[in-house]
Each structure stands twice: as structure tokens, then as C-alpha cells.
Structure 1
Amino acid sequence: MTGVFNEEDGLELHCERKPHVSIGKIVTKVPVVLAELKLQIHVSETITFPEPVLEIKDIKKRVHLTQCRLLLPSKKLFIKGFVRKNIQYASPCSEIEMPTDKSVASDLHSFTVDVPFEQVTEIKDFLSMPVMPKNNTREEFDFVRSKSLPEGFPEKDQHISSDISQYHQESSQFYNELPYCELLSSRIVEWDEALDRMPLPGKAPFHEGYFTKIEEKMVLDICVNVLQKQQIRVASTSNGD
């Protein structure tokens, strides 16, 4: 036993060191890794800035997945998301100082944009096979009904059929476990190039210019785990250390 002092109540609480562990063959339900995939996604996008850009200083990127769906009973995996890009750039500012043939004044701004991507791939080799969904069922049944016939039919004859004024049905629903994904890692290689770069107006260094649009080409490598909660059997022979 170990003692822990509780300042609020001024009491010493005793906690057991060893938790109770069931012994034997036990069925539990845990996430099971179905596949670990390395995917490469190609993205091409045009980004328009809200003001003239003298130069890009830095770009911070973060990958977001909005959909990762294994479409059972097929092997197709649908991936959808976006890359959040925070672009820090210098914008020419004549309010600070008018440009000269040797200098250009600018101030630092940032622009955040989401670049979407999506891809469909096929899982060819499963580490563990997924539990396939069970189909819901719905079956209709009837009961026989006999009744007397009206005049014009033999007295001993009966009208035998199902009763259309009644409806009987048996249905079942299965609540299957949906596979899901974990994003493990990402790697981005990008190329950004100005589309409309022009010289600065007025008196300015000849090599300086500004632009408002860039074309971005990006190669996105991501690694994901595809998981599904499944029942598995575990064994324990002792609840000792």
C-alpha cells in the first residue's frame, strides 16, 4: 500500500499498487490496425494575395484530414483534407518611405489560406482483415384467412387467401463498427512561383518588383493508419508483476 496526502481534507488516502487483472482467456474489444499506408498526393493551386507582395519571407504549413473513409466491403480508401498555409510576406509601403533607386520600404504581413486535396487509393494488403458489415434484413409474412363466399358460389366452398387488411414484417438492424484513420506523419515538398510579377512603379531599384498571384505545386506525402474496433481474445496466466 502507498499513502497519498489530500490537502483539502487533511486525510491520507491509500491506493493499491496492483490493479485487479482477470486471469484466463478473455475476449476484449480494442482498435485493430487494418493497414498502414504511405500516400503521395499531388496538388496544384493558384493563390491570390489581397495586396502587392514584394517577397515571401516564410511559409508555415499544417496538414488537416477532414475525411478518411474505408468503403467496405470494397478496398477503396477515400482521403480528403487541406493544407493550412500561413504565408508571411513583405508588402511595399510608400507611407513608410518613398522608394529610391537603392531602397524600398516594406512592412510585414501574413496571409492564411487552405489548400484542399483529395485522393482515392486501394488497400491491397491488409495487416488484419476488417470485419465486414452485416446487412440489415426486412421480411414480410402473411397468415391464411378463410371466409365464406357470397351467393353464386357452392355453399361448401371457402375463400382462402391472405388478409390484405393486415401487414406483418420482421426486420433486423446491425450496428457495424466503422473503420477510421490516424494521421501519423506528413512531408511536403513545394514550389511557389509568381505569375504576374511587375517592376515597382516610379523610382525604385531595377531588380525589385511586386506580384499578387503565385502558382503552387506541392507533393504531399502522408502516412496513415486505418483502424477498426474488433473483438480479440487475450490470455493471462497471472495477475502478478
Structure 2
Amino acid sequence: MKKNTGCGFGHHGCPPQPSSDKAKSKSLFTETYVPDVDLEEVTVVLGDVFLQSLTEAEVHLPTYASAIKNIEKNVSLTQCKAIPVPGFPDYVKLFVEGIVHKNIQYVEGSYGVVKDYSVDIPFKAYDRVRLATPVSNPFGIDFSIKKNVLQRRELAKDGMGANRCEFGSLTFEINNEPINCKLLASAVNQWDITENFDNWGRFNKITEKMDINLLIKLTQKRQQMAGDGDTAGGEEQGPEVVYNRFRNIIQQ
């Protein structure tokens, strides 16, 4: 038996599944089913979201400054994850994290060169968001159900219980399309307070109060009838036909 004895470090992102022992097998029968519907995969905009994060940071300059000449700010996201809310397809819980990269230009006295100092300021914004277009859940279920296992047992010969040597099961997984994020625009409105002065009136500490505003587009891939846009509800459409037939087949 092979065991996972690694310490868990050294992987970037999701690591591959560890190797396992292989059992002997043989393929007995194959049957192919092609749905008689013409589907295409399209990207649907779920909504454009305005998100605000109020963030306070303390910046310590490497040397004392007499004046700040300019502060350049660039916003980038390190995480943007939208999680559907079970039972409410019009809502998602949005988790956004990022950094404000700042290049601070300052002078140390009334004459001399302008110095540069760069610093990254992390920020977070978590909120529930209402969508313009509902999240697509092809089977009407919001997540992959690992515990959805139907156990099959045969009655033992004495009729007093289950046969423990023969058994079967039906497991079911749903591969939902993820919700993707795109940062369209950002704006940082800030107020700076200088602190920690020396005998010459220079400072090396800045307390920044930032109002970080983000415009994020949420999209999701989904199946629809070829050549058609989004159709109104009420009737079973092409994608629902395919998913429901698949569900009926595996339940036979």
C-alpha cells in the first residue's frame, strides 16, 4: 500500500493526486448516447460588481522626509472567488483580496535628489452580491456532493440481513462551471497623515486611510441551444434536456 508521506510543502496551486496501487480490470461493454440537441458553450455575464474596501495602513519610509512629491498607486488582485449561495441562484458570496502597490517619491530637505520608495499594501473585501443573471446549476444542485452515495445490498441466504461479500453503489458528482472574475477598473481615494517627526520637522511614518473602489465583472460558461441567446424560463431547454436524460440514464 502506498502512503502519502510528504510534508505538504513545495506545491504551487493544487498538487496532483498521489499515485495509487492499480487493480486488474477488463472492459466488458460500451454504449454511446448522443443527445439529439445542438448545444454550444457560451460565456455569460453574471453581473458587473462595484466593491469598496476601507483600508488603513502604516508606511515607514527608509529615511526621514521633508515633503512628499508624488504617490503613484496601482491595484492588482491576488484572489477573487465567487461562491454560489445554496438555494439563492441570484446571489454569490464574493471574496476579493489584493494589493495596492505604491511608489512614494519624497525629498529629505529643501534641496537634493528625489528618492523613491515602493511598498505593497494588502487589502480585503468580502460581501454578498446580487447578480443580474442567475448562476447556472445544470442539475439544480449548487455543489458537488461527495456524500451522495447510494449503497446497494443483496439479502443474505438466511434472509436475516445483507450479504456482506457482495455489494454495489452509485456515486454522483456534479462538475459546475466556476465563476470567473475580471478587474475592469479601480480607484483609490486616500488621506495621508504624517507622523514621527525629528528635530528638523521631518517625518518617516505615514498613516494612510484608503477608500479602495473596484469594478469587477463576473462571468460563467454555460451550455445553450446553438444560435440562441438566453431563453425565458418555464420550458425545459436544450441543456436541461441533456442533463435530465443523463440523470435518468444513471438511475436506471
Structure number, greater radius of gyration? 1
Determine the structure 2 residue equivalent to 1:205: none
Residue 51 of structure 1 pairs with residue 63 of structure 2: yes
Q: Does the 8 A contact of 1:26 with 1:235 survive in 2?
A: no
TM-score scaled to structure 1, two decimals?
0.68
Alignment of 1:110-189 (within 5 A): 110-124=116-130, 126-132=131-137, 133-136=142-145, 137-146=148-157, 158=158, 160-189=160-189
Give per-residue Cα distances to partners, 1:119-142, cap 9 Å, x unaligned.
122223x22111133533222221
Match of 1:135, SS state, is coil
* Whole-angstrom CA distance in 1 between matches of 2:168 and 2:38: 41
Which is richer in strand? 1
User: Which of 98, 118, 123 is residue 81 of structure 1 equivalent to?
Assistant: 98
* Whole-angstrom CA distance in 1 between matches of 2:38 and 2:66: 66
Determine the structure 2 residue equivalent to 1:153: none
| 4+ runs deviating over 4 angstroms | none
Distance 1:198 1:139, change over 3 A: same
* Whole-angstrom CA distance in 1 between matches of 2:159 and 2:128: 59
Q: Does the 8 A contact of 1:81 with 1:117 survive in 2?
A: yes
Q: Identity, % of aligned pairs?
A: 27
Residue 109 of structure 1 pairs with residue 120 of structure 2: no
* CA RMSD between the two structures: 2.2
Which stretches in structure 1 are left out of the alignment for 5+ residues?
1-24, 93-103, 147-157, 201-208, 237-241
How far the C-alpha of 1:224 sits from its partner, in A, is 0.9
Which stretches in structure 2 are left out of the alignment for 5+ residues?
1-36, 87-91, 229-252
Give per-residue Cα distances to partners, 1:173-193, cap 9 Å, x unaligned.
221111011111111111112
Alignment of 1:91-110 (within 5 A): 91-92=108-109, 104-110=110-116
The amino acid across from 2:171 in the alignment is: S
TM-score scaled to structure 2, two decimals?
0.65
How far the C-alpha of 1:85 sits from its partner, in A, is 0.7
Q: Does the 8 A contact of 2:75 with 2:100 survive in 1?
A: yes
Distance 1:134 1:196, change over 3 A: closer
How far the C-alpha of 1:73 sits from its partner, in A, is 2.7
The amino acid across from 1:80 in the alignment is: E
Q: Does the 8 A contact of 1:69 with 1:78 survive in 2?
A: yes
Q: Does the 8 A contact of 2:52 with 2:125 survive in 1?
A: no
Residue 232 of structure 1 pairs with residue 224 of structure 2: yes
The amino acid across from 2:156 in the alignment is: R
Residue 63 of structure 1 pairs with residue 68 of structure 2: no
How far the C-alpha of 1:225 sits from its partner, in A, is 0.8
* Whole-angstrom CA distance in 2 between matches of 1:63 and 1:105: 32
Q: Does the 8 A contact of 2:43 with 2:219 survive in 1?
A: yes
Determine the structure 2 residue equivalent to 1:149: none
Give per-residue Cα distances to partners, 1:189-224, cap 9 Å, x unaligned.
111121112332xxxxxxxx2111100011112111
How far the C-alpha of 1:234 sits from its partner, in A, is 4.3
Residue 217 of structure 1 pairs with residue 200 of structure 2: no
